[in-house]
Amino acid sequence: MADCCASNPVFSGMDPLYKRALKWVIAINAIMFVVEMGAGVSADSQALQADALDFLADSVAYGMALWAIGRAAKTRVMVAMYKALSLLIMGLWVFASTLYQFFVIGVPEAQIMGLVGLLALAANLLSVLILAKYRDGDANVRSVWLCSRNDAIGNLGVIVASGVVWWLNSAWPDLVVALFMSGLFVWSAKSISVQAWREWRAAK
């Protein structure tokens, strides 16, 4: 996708409709962070807490993306690199907290996982629909799309895990999904940083 973007005019977010879309998505993610984190703590679910942190990270990332629109190319690249670093740190945190949970295993409440997972999936699918036509662009714009897409994938994982947790009465599915989401954060950080580095070199 990055190579394709390099050969065509790159969308940098300079569109009032895109800015309005970002504001809506920021609001959706901020609300879902509060809802899902509370549910994750209540249900003792690592997967829900990891997904809630992803909502928080996305709210901050989208706010930074909105701020960077219209600024110099190097500024947009630096913002994208910061978001990549944030995703990397988030992924490592989720991995470390999941390892801790491994040694203090408690079975999460599958019903809460499933219900909140469905709500989070609906919120992320709405965000994906709002941002769908802006999925290609510079590193700053593309990072927004990647975050939204990854969130929807993670929510599907939480819903599947809730069913397996209920069926097996085991915390293992919850931990597996949390680890998967950790890897998803790290992969997205790498993808964003690679494109941002290319744009940084081009800007120089």
- Domains along the chain? 14-203 (1.20.1510)
Tokens of 102: 């491994």
CB 127 within 8 A of CB 29: yes
CA pair distance 36, 163, nearest whole angstrom: 18
- At 3 the pLDDT is 40
Phi-psi region of 71 (alpha: psi -120 to 50; beta: other; left: phi over 0): beta
Task: List, for residues 114-161, the tens digit of each pLDDT value.
Answer: 677 788 888 888 988 888 787 777 777 777 777 777 777 777 776 776
Type and span of the H or E element at 118: helix 110-131
User: Does pLDDT of 43 surpass 60?
Assistant: yes
For the chain, give the mean pLDDT: 75
CA-based nearest residue to 76, from 85, 66, 88, 86: 66
